[in-house]
Amino acid sequence: MSTQKIAVIGECMIELSEKGSTVSRGFGGDTLNTSVYIARQVAAQDLSVHYVTALGEDNFSQQMLDAWHSENVDTSLTQRLAGRLPGLYYIETDDTGERTFWYWRNEAAARYWLESDQAAAICDQLANFDYLYLSGISLAILSPQSREKLFTLLRQCRANGGKVIFDNNYRPRLWASQQETQQVYQQMLSCTDIAFLTLDDEDALWGAQPVDEVIARTQAAGVSEVVIKRGSDSCLVAVTGDALVEVPAVKLPQASVVDTTAAGDSFSAGYLSVRLTGGSTAAAAQRGHLTASTVIQYRGAIIPREAMPA
């Protein structure tokens, strides 16, 4: 059996994270977090994880690439763009582990990955992948013209037998308006096979609705597998034609919650590490909860490898 391939599309940024008066530097971004956590939980011969983005030619960008290589994330489709730099974000974390983000990313290299001379050749390769994964942030950082190129790629991949996976990850400050986001998300969902929906983000974008209506709306757009993420509450998995699956979250004492950064990203990674290698939705959701509950007990987006659950 040949190795399946998943391409995770998005942006990695320089991460500055404060703890008291100490500030530490790392790298993170929602899709990068997911790619690392998938790669840590699957055998390379079962699923090859590729990260698709653009970086600069600076030392920070090289350090990112070196770190991804050490995580068994393939970077052959990551571009280096002259005159560009990675974006940067700063995390303030309160006493309960909740965080506030501050961003500097308007000219980040990742915004231009579909506008380079290499973009067409990269899209030709991606159209033949087994899975393409992206988030709402992957869409938000692109120009309208680049988004159309991306949607063309997603449709071509599905026509070739691949599947598209989308995490809603809605960040209002990255969008011109709520109406624009709704239109883009509807277009995205129309070419999505598996959707991860953080319920708080759905409520913020569409207005609070009963969860069964959220699922119905998403399925009506054409999504066959809908995963509802509800933080510390149980998650729900709705596969067209099957009964709704509810899987309880891992309960932690509040004192154990250090930093909720990458909680949703790591849940999606845990879910996919099981689901894309033949596991059931229930087993996938259990792994998602286990991964997320481990990650939030450490500071920063990417926890030490030795801290990963067995």
Strand 4-9 and strand 131-135: the pairing is parallel
Q: Which has the closest alpha carbon to 266: 229, 226, 239?
A: 229
Positive or negative, the Cα torsion across 179, 126, 120, 224? negative
- Spatial strand order in the sheet of 131-135: 47-52, 4-9, 131-135, 163-167, 194-198, 225-229, 235-239, 245-247
DSSP string, 26-91: EEE-HHHHHHHHHHTTS-TTTEEEEEE-EE-SSHHHHHHHHHHHHTT-B-TT-EE-TT-B--EEEE
For the stretch 227-245, pLDDT in tens is 999 999 999 999 999 999 9
- What is the Cα–Cα distance from 257 to 298, expressed in whole angstroms? 8
Query: Which residues make beta-bridge pairs with 228?
Result: 197, 236
For position 17, what pLDDT does the model report?
81
Phi/psi at 246 (nearest 5 deg)?
Answer: -120, 125
Judge contact between 260 and 221, C-beta under 8 A: no
- Which residues of the chain fall below pLDDT 70? 1, 97
Predicted pLDDT of residue 193: 98
pLDDT of residue 101: 80
Distance CA(117)–CA(123), nearest Å, equals 11
Between CA 104 and CA 305 the distance in angstroms is: 28
The whole-number pLDDT of residue 1 equals 66
Give the separation between CA 250 and CA 228, rounded to whole angstroms. Answer: 16
Q: How far apart are CA 110 and CA 80, in angstroms?
A: 10
pLDDT digits (tens, 9 = 90+) for 285-294: 999 999 999 9
Residue 87 contacts residue 13 (beta carbons within 8 Å): yes
Q: What's the pLDDT at 21?
A: 81
Q: Which residues are catalytic?
A: 265
110 contacts 10 by C-beta, under 8 angstroms: yes
pLDDT score recorded for residue 24 = 85
State how far the Cα of 51 lies from the Cα of 43, in Å rounded to an integer.
17
37-82 pLDDT, tens digit per residue, is: 999 999 999 999 999 999 999 999 999 999 999 999 999 999 999 9
Q: What stretches of the chain show up as alpha helix (H) in DSSP?
A: 30-39, 59-70, 119-126, 136-140, 144-159, 178-189, 199-206, 211-220, 263-275, 281-295
